[in-house]
Amino acid sequence: QKEVEQDPGPLSVPEGAIVSLNCTYSNSAFQYFMWYRQYSRKGPELLMYTYSSGNKEDGRFTAQVDKSSKYISLFIRDSQPSDSATYLCAMNSGGSNYKLTFGKGTLLTVNP
């Protein structure tokens, strides 16, 4: 079983739709959870950063962490064509552990 599983998509939605992106993981030691957005031929950009379980909202973006189910989600409300990108989840256990474990990314296209 891979440490982090992420559906690669591609996911195509109409403008204005609510998008749900998800990752599952197997390592119960993970405490820090991140979502990165990566536009084509660019570096990953940190979008959301959460610690432990719960929700975090930033504008149109909401990150959810359910540690009991080992499941994290990113919701995008009122999606825009500019949201078209690959979304990567990442996580680690914190402390002196420097390694981020990444999902392989979900390619999202928002159609005008």
Considering the complex, what minimum distance in angstroms separates the CB of residue 100 from another protein? Answer: 6
Residue 100 makes contact with another protein by CB under 8 A: yes
Residue 25 makes contact with another protein by CB under 8 A: no
Contact range with another protein by CB under 8 A, out of 12-20, 63-71, 74-82, 84-92: 84-92
Alpha carbons 50 and 18: distance in angstroms, whole number: 21
Alpha-carbon dihedral sign for residues 32, 93, 29, 86: positive
Tell how far CA 12 is from the center of its chain: 16
Determine which residue in the list 19, 88, 108, 110 makes contact with another protein, applying CB under 8 A: 88
